[in-house]
Amino acid sequence: MMNISVTVNTCELTDLDLKQMSQLGIDYIDFGKGSSFPGVKEQGYPDLDQLLKLRRRVRSFGLEMNRVTLPDLTERYMNNLPGSEKELENSATAIKVFGEAGLPIVRQRFAGDTVPVLTSGYKAVQRGGAIARGESLGLMKNKPEIPGLGERERWWSRFTEAFRTLVPVAEDYDVKLTVHPSDTPNHGTPFGGLGFHRIIDAFPSKNVGFVYCIGTRAEEGGSSLVMDEINHYGRKGKIYLVHLRNVRGSLPTAGAFEEALLDDGDLNVFNILLELRKVGYKGCINPDHITQLEGDSVDLDQSWAHSGISWKSSSIGWGYSIGYVRALLAALAEFEGIRYGH
């Protein structure tokens, strides 16, 4: 059966954080920022002893660590500048450390996977005055040029060079190596539908797959694209973690999209969970990009203004989203006649 995880961008979790997570019925924690782990700023990769200490503390609250994030591969690496070899070496070492700590899923971030920026963000006001992230193709007057084929292929060559190093390490340490789709899914971004195909064609390893972000993919093609991709990548066993959010509109259909509460967008979330169940997915459902409710306090990121990116104990929206997913999972279990819950 599927479980629930939430993303944090810090390792400095308080007892309040962990108690509230446990009370809400969260099962796992995903760590979204590679630089947050002790040791990364000092030596370039996590310290194993501190990592094990963190895992023991998380487990003492009845929770577990799920997805972690490797040190970033920055513009330095993507442009093959001095020091790029060290960045790749640090990522490879981080996989070894996470593997030794028994952590199952790592994500690698690549500079340039979300450019060019062709949309303008805006504050979307929704039901009852709730605030959500919106982006529109029509609001940006001076749009940058889309990278040409040569520039795209240069980016891809650096990506493949990194994965040629990282994939064997992930296999040796039995760690699942993932990427997240480009967010925003503008034209020219590498981790879209065709990019995902290209990755698993080039690296057909059982340890290579995706953090499948339903909201991001719906922004590119709506509900039908999401259902098709879940069916395709799910049957191949390439979905290792699911980010769940609802959206209104998409870039191809409306020239814009708005994130929405889980019950208030274009997607039928129960049908999505049912499709994940059909393809045998047994990983975590991670509700993300939380809508701001009245009186809420959320963890905002300037790259995704008006959207709560990371867990915050004072966020009403997190409580709503987790409860909604738990209810759907319980309904799915009842529908199938199986047991769900702690």
Which tens digit of pLDDT belongs to each residue from 166-196?
999 999 999 999 999 998 888 888 898 888 9
Query: Where is 154: in which H helix or E strand?
Result: helix 149-172
CA-closest candidate to residue 163, choices 178, 175, 147? 178
For the chain, the straight-line distance linking the first and the last C-alpha, in angstroms and rounded, comes to 12
Residue pair 44/93 in contact by the 8 Å Cβ criterion = yes
Q: From CA 284, how far away is CA 54, in angstroms rounded? A: 20
Pick from 94-108, 117-131, 286-300: least confident: 286-300
Share of the chain above pLDDT 90, in %: 77
Which pLDDT belongs to residue 186? 86
Minimum mean pLDDT range among 141-150, 152-161, 287-296, 300-309: 300-309
The HSE-up count of residue 117 (CA atoms within 13 Å, CB side) is 9
Residue 164's SS3 state is helix
DSSP letter at 158 equals: H
Minimal CA–CA distance to 167: which of 153, 182, 179, 180? 179
- Give the pLDDT band (50/70/90) at residue 17: very high
pLDDT per position as a tens digit, 224-254 = 999 999 999 999 999 999 999 999 999 999 9
Q: What is the pLDDT of residues 256-303, one digit of tens each?
A: 999 999 999 999 999 999 999 999 999 999 999 999 898 887 666 666
Res 342 pLDDT > 60: no
Average pLDDT in the 151-167 region? 95
Give 48-104 as a DSSP string: HHHHHHHHHHHHTTT-EE-EEEPPPB-HHHHTT-TTHHHHHHHHHHHHHHHHHTT--
In the prediction, which pLDDT does 216 show? 95
- Residue 83 neighbours by CB under 8 Å, 6+ apart: 76
CA distance 309 to 271: 24
pTM for this entry: 0.95
What is the SS3 string spanning 215-271? HHHHHHHHHHHHHHHHHHHHHCCCEEEEEECEEECCHHHHCEEEEECCCCCCCCHHH
Distance CA 323, CA 310 (A): 17
Q: What domains can be seen in the chain, in order of their start residue?
A: 3-336 (3.20.20.150)
Q: How far is CA 319 from CA 19, 59, 100, 251, 309, in A?
A: 13, 21, 33, 29, 14
The rounded mean pLDDT for the chain is 92
CA pair distance 295, 121, nearest whole angstrom = 23
Q: What is the pLDDT of residue 172?
A: 98
Mean pLDDT is lowest, of 74-78, 180-184, 310-314, 338-342, for 338-342
Q: Which amino acid is at 69?
A: T
Angle at 246 between CA 34 and CA 65, to 5 degrees: 30
Q: What is the mean pLDDT of residues 125-147?
A: 87
| Ordered DSSP codes for 285-341 | EEE-SBPBPTT---EEETTEEEEEEE--TT-HHHHHHHHHHHHHHHHHHHHHT----
